[in-house]
Amino acid sequence: MAPLTITVPASLGTRPVSDTGTLLTWVKSGGRVRFLLPSVVYRPGGDGRPEKPPATYRDYVAYLHEQAGYHANWRDEETTTVGGRVATLLTGTTNEPMDGSFGCPTARADPDKDCFGLQPDYAFRVAVVDAPGRPLVAWTTIDLTQVQNPSAAFTRFEDMLKTLRFR
């Protein structure tokens, strides 16, 4: 993972459940937050083989926009800064699984089990950050079968992003 510091809400606990060179994850009753430096992506509509992820922040945001042609629904997009770097925030939903479309933490990851992308019945608040070296993708998920209005969780995620600093 790109060296960073972040203040995590108490609702997520103090320790991540995964902390590798490419993936940080917090899962607690208060929600789920992930930070990923994708090693590979599985392009919706592609041939099912892993590809190198988009190399720049702008290319990664364009790649997410392309997913609208494959069941991704994006809204509430805004440009901001995270850790002093340009970032794009957007909310996504889908009616079809999009396994691996955000990316995978390793090149050999199983797209159905170890990789990430939009999923039915969930709303995702996604941040794409122009991190040093390559795009950093962060998101929180809300189970829409349990929570009808995800705005409080999305605000908590965005407040968490405001504390991120690259070292």
Encode pLDDT of 45-79 as tens digits: 989 999 999 999 999 999 999 999 999 999 999 99
Which pTM does this prediction carry? 0.94
Q: Please tell me which residue, 145 or 14, carries the higher pLDDT value.
A: 145
b/e for 116-147, b at 16 or more Cβ within 10 A? bbbbeebbbbbbbbbbeebbbbbbbbbeeeee
Residue 38's closest CA among 111, 91, 95, 92? 111
Tell me which residue has tokens 């997410």: 64
Specify the DSSP element, H or E, that contains 137.
strand 136-143
Q: Provide the pLDDT confidence category of residue 100 given band limits of 50, 70 and 90.
A: very high
Sequence length of the chain is: 167
Examine the pLDDT at 104 and tell me if it is beyond 90: yes
